[in-house]
């Protein structure tokens, strides 16, 4: 286990530092060093020992969780977190996020919605911090109209950092549900105003690939798509950097479910045609 070995290595290093520092007064038997040890080095040693103790306690308390995460044993992790949340009432943001993500990995979308209904009663703020995950469950389950309604109803409740992605997934849900007239203005707005290069590129791509041929004003839709495309090219320059931008957030579950569209958008954005 990489995490276990990291903790062991850190513990050994800190222990050696503490031991060597503690023996220095014996090695250098000088009055000025003893005084310096008492007022500066000793408090530092106490702090390091306290830090080591806290890290060790944290590791052993969460050993089971770290072990399951490292093994990627999602069913066992879900079972473990269900006990933490439903039995021990541990509705922390971390626990809820991990449990919802575990359900998504094993395609148990109904359990995600059940979790959401429990969390909204116990700790609503945790739902608002994980809107993208709970919305993703609706998309993956095929309930696209419900996903669009869910994203729209949480626009003013989500975290500020998630706002643009929430807007994008709202448009994406509309697109999947066949509501092209509503999806077009959402993607058009993001293609020209978003400061997130992935959102800009994806919005431009769907305007080009899906909405232009269905638009009431295809010329305008084409123009906005090309403007969004140029904004991306001006920012990331080459296709390789587009992939790196995706990799930076690739571990996020809401990015994972649209990764194939990100790759398709990259091919279009940097194609010569």
In tens, the pLDDT along 200-257 reads: 999 999 999 999 999 999 999 999 999 999 999 999 988 889 999 999 998 899 999 9
d(CA 34, CA 15): 21
Q: Taking the domains of the chain in order of start, what are their residue ranges?
A: 2-61, 69-129, 144-273
pLDDT in tens, 118-174: 999 999 999 999 999 999 999 999 999 999 999 999 998 888 889 999 999 999 999
pLDDT at 64: 81
Per-residue confidence (pLDDT) for residue 199, from 0 to 100:
97
Alpha-carbon distance of 225 to 232, in angstroms, equals: 11
b/e map of 6-41 (b: 16 or more CB within 10 Å)?
ebeeeeeebeeebeeeeeebeeeeeeeeeeebeeeb
Q: Is the pLDDT of residue 38 over 80?
A: no
Q: DSSP alpha helices (H): ranges in 28-92? A: 31-36, 42-61, 63-71, 74-82
Closest to 138 in 3D by CA, of 127, 150, 126: 150
Question: Residue 159: how many CA atoms within 13 Å on its side-chain side?
Answer: 12
Residue 157 CA to residue 141 CA, distance in Å, equals 23
Across the range 64-80, mean pLDDT stands at 87
pLDDT over threshold 90, residue 16: no
Give the per-residue pLDDT at 116.
96
What pLDDT score does 4 carry? 57
> Residue 174: which of 157, 186, 156, 191 has the closest Cα?
186
């Amino acid at each position: 286990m990489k995490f276990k070995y990291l903790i062991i290595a850190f513990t050994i290093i800190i222990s050696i530092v503490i031991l060597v520092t503690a023996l220095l007064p014996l090695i250098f038997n000088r009055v000025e060093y003893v005084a310096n040890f008492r007022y500066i080095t000793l408090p530092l040693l106490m702090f390091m020992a306290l830090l080591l103790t806290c890290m060790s306690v944290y590791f052993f308390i969460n050993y089971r969780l770290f072990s399951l995460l490292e093994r990627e044993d999602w069913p066992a992790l879900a079972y473990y977190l269900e006990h933490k949340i439903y039995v021990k009432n541990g509705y922390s943001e971390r626990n809820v996020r991990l449990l919802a993500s575990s359900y998504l990995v094993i395609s148990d979308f109904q359990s995600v919605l059940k979790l959401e209904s429990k969390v909204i009663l116990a700790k609503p703020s945790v739902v608002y911090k994980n809107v993208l995950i709970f919305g993703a469950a609706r998309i993956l389950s095929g309930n696209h109209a419900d996903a669009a309604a869910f994203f729209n109803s949480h626009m003013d409740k989500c975290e500020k950092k998630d706002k643009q992605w929430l807007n994008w997934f709202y448009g994406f849900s509309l697109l999947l549900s066949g509501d092209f007239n509503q999806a077009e203005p959402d993607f058009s707005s993001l293609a020209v105003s978003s400061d997130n290069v992935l959102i800009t590129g994806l919005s431009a791509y769907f305007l080009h690939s899906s909405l232009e041929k269905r638009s009431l004003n295809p010329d305008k839709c084409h123009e906005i798509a090309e403007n969004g495309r140029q904004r991306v090219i001006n920012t990331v320059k080459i296709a390789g950097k587009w992939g790196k931008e995706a990799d930076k957030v690739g571990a996020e579950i809401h990015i994972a479910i649209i990764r194939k569209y990100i790759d398709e958008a990259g091919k279009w954005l940097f194609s010569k045609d």
